[in-house]
Structure 1
């Protein structure tokens, strides 16, 4: 897909989304190109499309995926349609980079859920700072594990929180936060019987 589902405009990030309400869960499922050539994120939410509930759920979902406050995300076009445009406030360059990483991660997750061996090999290398896809390996295992919905949701929340910590801590080599992120990730791994991940090399030297 050559086109991107987001763009920078007037010091904010605009994101085009195709939303499925009553989708059974809250999730971003990658990106696609529509027949007219427009690129969009594919998202689904459990909320119904009534009284703005689905829009509010979408705003909360995108904020959680980008690790920002709910108030920084708003549906500005398509409030009553499936195709929507979100405005995301913040540093546009940082947000677009984060969204690009998320889209790549979503693709790897889908490949892993489909049982693609190459992606599984990719996702078992490195540590959380040199290879953030460690979180995806755990997420894919959680999704496949057949857990009750509350347990799966709890583990996914823990993984998102750990990944958000790592995004902030790894560039600054914040040892305390990195250890906390590794601890949270390994707590999930224990529950789904995955091997633990090591601390980054700079904390083992």
Structure 2
């Protein structure tokens, strides 16, 4: 299990993982931040990128904030950093 700090940019033109910025992974999503939809979208995007099932990535802290901490199950901190290039 690993924790990952992310900065989310909602209402973007497309879903994408931008890269590392100030110690957090920057993720853009085309989904609006309403009723947790953006949270679900970034979790699904990250899970797909990491080759994990959707349920393996969840929001641990920051449900209503652009700064979030995600919980990634099935990978260690080192494996997560390696797969994300950080």
TM-score, normalised to structure 1, is 0.40
- Distance in structure 2 (CA, Å) of the matches to 1:91 and 1:63: 11
Distance 1:29 1:50, change over 3 A: same
Unpaired segments ≥5 residues, structure 1:
1-11, 34-38, 105-205
**Aligned partner of residue 85 in structure 1, secondary structure:** strand
Partner of 1:44: 28
Unpaired segments ≥5 residues, structure 2:
none
Q: Which one has a larger percent strand, Structure 1 or Structure 2?
A: 2
State the Cα RMSD in Å. 1.4
- Contact 1:66 1:99 (8 Å CA) reproduced: no
Partner of 2:3: 14
Partner of 2:68: 84
Q: After superposition, what is the alpha-carbon deviation per residue over 1:98-155, rounded to whole angstroms, capped at 9, x for unaligned?
A: 5424326xxxxxxxxxxxxxxxxxxxxxxxxxxxxxxxxxxxxxxxxxxxxxxxxxxx
Runs (4+) of structure 1 moved beyond 6 Å? none
- Distance in structure 1 (CA, Å) of the matches to 2:67 and 2:74: 23
- Contact 1:19 1:84 (8 Å CA) reproduced: yes
Q: How does 1:95-174 map to 2 (within 5 A)?
A: 96-103=78-85
Distance 1:28 1:59, change over 3 A: same
- Distance in structure 2 (CA, Å) of the matches to 1:56 and 1:14: 17
TM-score, normalised to structure 2, is 0.91
- Distance in structure 2 (CA, Å) of the matches to 1:80 and 1:14: 18
Larger radius of gyration: 1
* Higher RCO (Cα < 8 Å, 6 or more apart): 2
Q: After superposition, what is the alpha-carbon deviation per residue over 1:9-63, rounded to whole angstroms, capped at 9, x for unaligned?
A: xxx1100000000111111111011xxxxx1001000110000000000000110
